Amino acid sequence: MLKAENIHRYFGHLEVLKGVNLEVNKGEIVSIVGASGAGKSTLLHILGTLDKAEKGHIFIDGESVSKLSKNDLARFRNQKIGFIFQFHNLLPEFTAIENVCLPAYLAGVDKETAELEAQHLLDRLGLGHRMNHKPAELSGGEQQRVAVARALINKPAIIFADEPSGNLDSKGAQNLHTLFFELRDEMGLTFVIVTHNPELAEMTDRKLEMRDGQIIESSVTPE
Ligand code: ADP
Ligand code: MG
């Protein structure tokens, strides 16, 4: 589903990624752990095509993303990739369902179809009764589940999450982690999750450790 080869990223003279190689299979949930400043967010942005590496290649769902034109890349990203961030980045002036519909509108889906799908997703995530509320009227856990619904609306192949539970209490974090595994089982989704949460990292199929711009360790989590 995802393959990254020899990824290098520099910020000025600072080499932040020093030749990262990574492969993730369809339906796998992989975690990336490591100290702050190790390059995890930089890597995730590059894998998710939000940022570009100076060197290296990325393949997602069979597509060589480095070869896509700017417009094709934007379309590819909107349809194939979902993002979940530590802070949900929901638009405060829009309701939950409106936030969830936005990526579908960008993909050219009509209002009625988008709203039906958004309703279905929000129901599935236990937010059926909260869909017409704005983000400020929702709890942290609810806001993050709206962000999950937004990430799912275009039926992506892969989800990148950067410290998705970093801002939640332990119950909210647990619920969100459980949800990721349920979604993988229901939809065959693939997840790459940067996390400081040791419980989540131990639950994942594989835990990768980043140190100083490289992946130094890959361990298969025992059943
Ligand atoms: P992590 O997510 O593991 O905490 P980051 O990927 O955010 O680490 O950052 C890795 C290093 O790259 C840090 O030293 C950070 O200061 C630097 N860095 C990240 N983004 C930028 C940027 N846009 N410009 C300059 N330096 C950056
Ligand atoms: Mg980070």
Residues 6+ apart with CB under 8 A from 106: 78
Tell the residue nearest (CA) to atom 27 of ligand 1.
11
Q: List ligand 1's pocket residues with C-beta within 6 A.
A: 11, 16, 34, 36-42
The pLDDT of residue 125: 95
Could you give the C-alpha distances from 134 to 87, 98, 99, 217, in angstroms and in order? 15, 9, 9, 42
Q: 85: CA distance to ligand 2 center in Å?
A: 10
Task: Share the mean pLDDT of the chain.
Answer: 94
Tell the residue nearest (CA) to atom 23 of ligand 1.
11
> In order of start, what are the domains of the chain with their CATH numbers?
2-220 (3.40.50.300)
pLDDT at 178 over 60: yes
Top-confidence residue, 89 or 27: 27
β-strand 158-162 against 81-84: which pairing, if any? Answer: parallel
pLDDT in tens, 31-90: 999 999 999 999 999 999 999 999 999 999 999 998 899 999 999 999 999 999 988 789
**SS3 state of residue 148:** helix
Question: Which ligand 1 atom is the nearest neighbour of the CA of 38?
Answer: 3
Q: How far apart are CA 80 and CA 151, in angstroms?
A: 10
In 3D space, the residue among 74, 115, 109 whose CA is nearest the CA of residue 94 turns out to be 115
Q: 44: CA distance to ligand 1 center in Å?
A: 11
Ligand nearest to the CA of 34: 1
Question: Which ligand 1 atom is the nearest neighbour of the CA of 45?
Answer: 6
pLDDT in tens, 94-135: 999 999 999 999 999 999 999 999 999 999 999 999 999 999
Residues within 5 Å of ion ligand 2 by Cβ?
Answer: 41
Ligand nearest to the CA of 39: 1
Longest dimension (CA), the chain: 51
pLDDT at 155 over 60: yes
Tell the residue nearest (CA) to atom 12 of ligand 1.
16
pLDDT at 167 over 70: yes
Interface pTM, i.e. ipTM: 0.97
Question: Which ligand 1 atom is the nearest neighbour of the CA of 36?
Answer: 4
The pLDDT of residue 222: 57
